[in-house]
Chains A and B, each alone.
Chain A
Amino acid sequence: MQIQADNIIILVVSITLIFLIAGLFLVIYVNVYNEKKGSYLEEKKILKQQFERAFLQSQLEIKEQTLQHIAYELHDNLGQVASLIKINLCTLQLNDPAKAGQKIEDTKELVRQLIMDLKTLSVSLNSDRVAQLGIVNGLENEVERLNKTGQFTATLKQGGSIPMLDANTTIILFRMAQEILNNIVKHSGAKRIDITLQASENLFTLVCRDDGVGFDREEKIGNGGSGLLNLQNRAKLIHAHLTIRSSHENGTTVSIELPI
């Protein structure tokens, strides 16, 4: 009887202890899991803040570049056309109707060209408009603008059904393309620029190829080439992959691959 009583006591105490220890392990597990969840959420918050900072920085850089683009267009393109209009009007010979008539027609053509160029510039600067029109229409305007200068032969080819991207991605992608084209115009000495847009089920690719003098990418970055770094950062923002291949013999090819 005594032994049975002792056995029961030992059994009860042992099982109670086991239950308490099991309960303790469960509570510790819940705590540890919860702390890990907290760390994960904290990390996610930090990453989101970093992303927003980078996005804001990128927006500011885009604005800055847009202003530079305006200055360039006004000086080199629109300013030149306006100067020609002024020269034509100043040299108008009213005593020779035939010649005056021809000059007036030429001047009218220049004014028409100026208005078109202003409209094109306005569209390319207006980010809302760019987002509304989409990447294809935006690039068509850029190609048209390049061809009008007479210094380049620019083409735009499309393959597959080009998807309508969200506003932010469209704007960032378009500004990247603008920067690439501006770099070609300023530095490459190219005569031909080919832009290809290709869309498959999961991937949208933008390829910009020129027949210019090429450049040494590592040297550019080493010399503080912020333009290339900006392109890389913007590609990361929209989760795109940027590839640049350049050589003196074959010119430069920039491709942006965007998962969709």
Chain B
Amino acid sequence: MINLTVVKETIHENLTQPFFLFAALIELTAVFLFSFGIELRYENEVLTGLGFFGRMIEDQVYIMSREFLRSFSGILVYFLMFLFIIGGSATHLGMLQSPLTAVILTKPVSRSVLFLSKFLGLWILVTVLVLAFSVILWCIAFYKSSGNMPTEVLLAPLSFSLEFGVIFAFSAFTAMLVENQTGVSILSLIVYFYVGRMAGNFTLPPVVHTLSLLLPPTGAMNFVTLGSILSGGVDFSVFLRGLPYVIISLGAGVYLFHRKDLR
């Protein structure tokens, strides 16, 4: 079901795309800021001060520590998600519009294999980028906190990686449905940043919450993970709910791709 040559080439091709280059640049900038701009002061394994380029904050340190964890595990990667979604939409739509795709499909490669291999290549690339980025930041924070940075925090970027799987599967499916990059990007961004996170919101009225279960649980995994970290224990239910969405989206995408005429 997967062609490793296509997976490898998808990674290589996307790595040189402007969106991904820009994302890599942002990651490098963040690593630079973390390395030289952030200072963590611990006393008896308790965070007592958080410094940013020499300006030390000592009030409300407990809240600050939570915000720090949130920033570390979420906000930086969250911003990159915007770039990855747009870049991913271009890759998925390229399957219908690129002359090279037409050539590949005259080789012994089926449409299903091409579709799934492109998806997997994209997912691997983004996951590796985000995880590598997060681990580097974690290592810097671990060093600066004299070993007080909890390992569990790394579960948050891992949960992002799983979200990439869900949202890329969704955008691969919508690419086959609407055949327009702007349309695919907008739909994916709406689902990720607005609609999808409803699936993780347990404070919604019961009816709305039940309906929200029909949505891909994107934008929710990170918060669930973060909550799990801060309160102890990990809730895997959202991850498990993401899996059927990936399977259904990819299945529907493959079905539509088989029925499409290539331009």
B and A form one assembly: no
**Interface, chain A (partner B; CB < 8 A):** none
